[in-house]
Amino acid sequence: MSNPISLDQQTVIRQIDPQLHVFAQPFNRFAPFGWRHFCKVGIRMTAVVLNEDKDILLLYPIPLVPSIAEKLRSIGNVKYIHADLGHYMSVGDYVTEYPKATLICPPGLMEKLNRKGIKFTSAFQHADNLDPPERFLEGLDSLETRVLRGFITYPTAWYHKPSRTLIQSDLMMNMPCDEQYSRTGESTERGPITRTFNQKANPYNIWHKIMIWYAAGFQVKTMREDAIHISKWNFERVIPSHGDLMMNGGTDAWKELYRWYIDSTQGHSSFWERALLFSRRIFLG
């Protein structure tokens, strides 16, 4: 049964820094056979105000509801939109609303969106760490990025330097997702799958570490390089797409979650690497 409270009413909007606004909504995931209400994980979008002209970078779009559109209008002009292979489903809402925005995305995603009839007038495909968007696109000086080349959804880690904040999609969950369900009238303790996932999917639980090691990173060598690089940013806060905000201790949490990669001396078996690489092709399909 669907929730009688509208998605607009369930959306939580919060300013956490002069330049950072977060937008949270409920979201169910890992649903077999289209069973939507399987595991509550929540979703979150971040708006970064880039400069005094109030240009905005939107990271990981979520369904555009009137309260989000109104808030964005009040804080500035959407200039860039970033999505990855795991967080692109709501991009179409924003192309219609902000037709002049530039899409920043990993290789293959723009073609996938085009096949769905979603067309940007301008796009920057962010393939590796030699051509980061902050070097080539105007106004991104407050950010530093790192592409996780060996992670199946081809995600990018965004470091907002003035606030020492890491913004990312699926690289680190921080369950429970209480804020994302705070206006739904639903509990993240209800249901065995949701309850278990909300207890275990956080960076200090070995279950999350196992998931990142076995199900997400297919190239251990590049994962190691990228995890070490990110650990040197020395961020305090983490804004995850799934789970609650982490307001301090972010770098320690990152080092713990990625410790197996950071300390790794050998990779996965070639069979497992190929299996995970195949998963990325499914995401691009």
Which of 190, 208, 178 lies closest to 37 in space, CA to CA? Answer: 190
Please state, in angstroms and rounded to a whole number, the distance separating the CA atoms of residues 111 and 10. Answer: 32
Question: How many C-alpha atoms does 117 have within 13 Å on its Cβ side?
Answer: 2
Contact region with Fe ion (CB under 5 A), list: 134-142, 143-151, 166-174, 228-236: 166-174
Count of residues near Fe ion by CB under 5 A: 2
Residue 92, interface with Fe ion (CB under 5 A)? Answer: no
**Contact track, Fe ion, 29-68, x by CB under 5 A:** ----------------------------------------
List Cα–Cα distances, 218 to 151, 152, 253, 258, in angstroms.
6, 7, 21, 14
How near is the Cβ of 242 to Fe ion at its closest, in Å? 6
- Burial-class residue 141 by CB neighbours within 10 Å (0-12, 13-18, 19+): exposed
Residue 211, interface with Fe ion (CB under 5 A)? Answer: no
Residue 103 or 177 having the CB closest to Fe ion: 177
List Cα–Cα distances, 141 to 11, 135, 161, in angstroms.
30, 8, 9
Torsion of CA 225, 227, 229, 233, to 10 degrees: 180
Q: Residue with CB nearest Fe ion?
A: 170
Residue 107, interface with Fe ion (CB under 5 A)? Answer: no
Question: How many C-alpha atoms does 236 have within 13 Å on its Cβ side?
Answer: 7
Residue 26 or 267 having the CB closest to Fe ion: 26
Contact region with Fe ion (CB under 5 A), list: 7-15, 84-92, 114-122, 213-221: 84-92
- Burial-class residue 79 by CB neighbours within 10 Å (0-12, 13-18, 19+): buried
Residue 86, interface with Fe ion (CB under 5 A)? Answer: yes
Residue 170 or 226 having the CB closest to Fe ion: 170
Contact region with Fe ion (CB under 5 A), list: 64-72, 86-94, 130-138, 159-167: 86-94
The tokens describing 97, both together, are 């609303």
Among 60, 95, 145, 170, binds Fe ion (CB under 5 A): 170
Residue 28, interface with Fe ion (CB under 5 A)? Answer: no
Q: Which residues bind Fe ion (CB under 5 A)?
A: 86, 170
